């Protein structure tokens, strides 16, 4: 199968967060993931979009979020970029540490890492790029083909 790629440029709004989540769910379904995996992928994208809109662009209407999905034979690759100051992931406290367990925030990146197979965070002075990959297992279309 040839790679399919689609990308969106979105405003720094709460609506973008909801749209990103919905789009991710649709893309994951089209890629053949089961309901549980679809939920994980759409939630990872929601958390990434929250980071981009809130912490990256800080709701700045002049700054945009770009969201891209690429599907190839093996993976669903999702990239979210913001135009903020750049997120230093090494400075995010471990939300599972006893001292942090009762904190009311700081779990987004942890959840993304829990739900996706590969996560890469590239901060720069012009923003943060978060690239996440979910491996495609047992695409129903592929298995059907294999059975025939």
Residues that bind other proteins (CB under 8 A): 14, 17, 39, 43, 46-47, 50, 54, 95-96, 101-105, 107-108, 110-111, 114
Neighbour-count burial for 32-66, b at 16+ CB within 10 Å, e otherwise: bbeeebbebbbbbbbbbbbbbbbebbeeeeebbbb
Question: Min. distance of Cβ 35 from other proteins in angstroms?
Answer: 10
DSSP for residue 54:
I
Instruction: Tell me whether residue 36 or residue 145 sits nearer to other proteins (CB atom).
Output: 36
Instruction: Tell me whether residue 110 or residue 139 sits nearer to other proteins (CB atom).
Output: 110
Question: Min. distance of Cβ 145 from other proteins in angstroms?
Answer: 32
In what order do the strands lie in the sheet containing 127-135? 4-11, 64-71, 75-81, 127-135, 118-124
Question: Min. distance of Cβ 85 from other proteins in angstroms?
Answer: 20
């Amino acid at each position: 199968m040839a790679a399919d790629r689609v990308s969106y440029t979105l405003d720094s709004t709460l609506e973008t967060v909801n749209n990103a989540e919905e789009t991710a769910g649709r893309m994951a379904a089209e890629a053949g993931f089961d309901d549980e995996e679809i939920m994980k992928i759409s939630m990872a994208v929601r958390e990434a979009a929250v980071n981009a809109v809130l912490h990256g662009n800080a709701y700045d209407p002049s700054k945009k979020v770009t969201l891209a999905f690429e599907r190839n034979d093996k993976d669903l690759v999702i990239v979210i970029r913001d135009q903020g100051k750049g997120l230093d992931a090494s400075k995010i406290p471990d939300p599972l540490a006893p001292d942090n367990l009762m904190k009311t925030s700081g779990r987004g990146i942890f959840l993304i890492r829990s739900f996706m197979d590969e996560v890469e965070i590239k901060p720069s002075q012009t923003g943060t790029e978060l690239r996440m990959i979910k491996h495609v297992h047992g695409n129903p279309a592929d298995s059907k083909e294999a059975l025939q």
